[in-house]
Amino acid sequence: MPGTTHSGGWTADICADRHSLIYHECITTASLSTQAYEQIRRMIVRLDLAPGDVLREDELQAVLGIGRTPIREALQRLARDQFVTVIPRRGMFVSPIDVDELSVLYETRAVMEPYAARLACRRGTLGHWAEMAEVIEQSLRPGLPPVDLLDVDRRCHEIIWAAAGNRFLTDTLDNLYAHSDRVWHMYLADVADTRHAVDEHIEILELLRRGDADACARSVEAHVRSFDDQVRDAVTTRLASPLAG
């Protein structure tokens, strides 16, 4: 019957639209959750949210302009990544910074960052190296503050991870770098030479362009070790201060 055919087609269209809407809502929620995660983590890394600060969903919603569900999902993910601590019946707090974990961070990055560099030498493209050169060029402007130099350092690492072409490696290194970056921000005022950390990427870029995997891996490992040494020196300086404690 014509009516039945029309009704069936109409129902099918409604179901298709409904499935499309559900899919769109899932994608939108996931996207907002990722945005919330990245923004809150950045606030934690930069110490806008300091260790021990209480995290309230309603306040984060107001600051970020993002709904409750994505905020909640982001906080759960941040807890899994150890940036947030959940205390039952008390709430969520920004995790403390444990300087005793510096050695663990270093020994992990010292293995994984050189490996990523090796992969990048094999898989990277001219486009990757052109982008990295542009980032380094922008960092050469005089008077760039240390916090901006840290952003340059991170962007160079991100390009190497992208060139390595391994999303599991990238996810792990992204998390490790964020924890290292947070420590760096804590002791930034006591770090002797932030510029040097960025300048080291000039040599690393040249080795990446040449595809010299062994030399590049050694250079990246030295770069990570330099970061660790500078932070350790900064921690020692801070603890030796008469105002410490």
Which CATH number belongs to the domain containing residue 229 in this structure?
A: 1.20.120.530
Supply the pLDDT for residue 232. 81
pTM score of the predicted model: 0.81
pLDDT at 202 over 90: yes
Asked if 30 and 120 sit in the same domain, the reply is no
Alpha carbons within 13 A on the beta-carbon side of 237: 13
Q: What is the pLDDT of residues 99-125, one digit of tens each?
A: 778 888 899 999 999 999 999 999 999
Q: Nearest 5°: phi and psi at 95? A: -65, 145
Does some domain include residue 245? no
Q: Domains in the chain: how many in total?
A: 2
Asked if 209 and 131 sit in the same domain, the reply is yes
Q: What is the pLDDT of residues 14-72, one digit of tens each?
A: 444 544 444 344 445 568 899 999 999 999 999 999 999 999 999 999 999 999 999 99
Mean per-residue pLDDT of the chain: 86
CATH code where residue 25 lies:
1.10.10.10
End-to-end Cα, the chain, rounded Å? 85
| Region 159-180 average pLDDT | 96
Alpha-carbon span 157 to 138, nearest angstrom: 15
44 burial level (CB within 10 Å; 0-12, 13-18, 19+) = buried
Asked if 199 and 141 sit in the same domain, the reply is yes
Asked if 54 and 110 sit in the same domain, the reply is no
Does some domain include residue 43? yes
DSSP output for 184-206: HHHTGGG-S-HHHHHHHHHHHHH
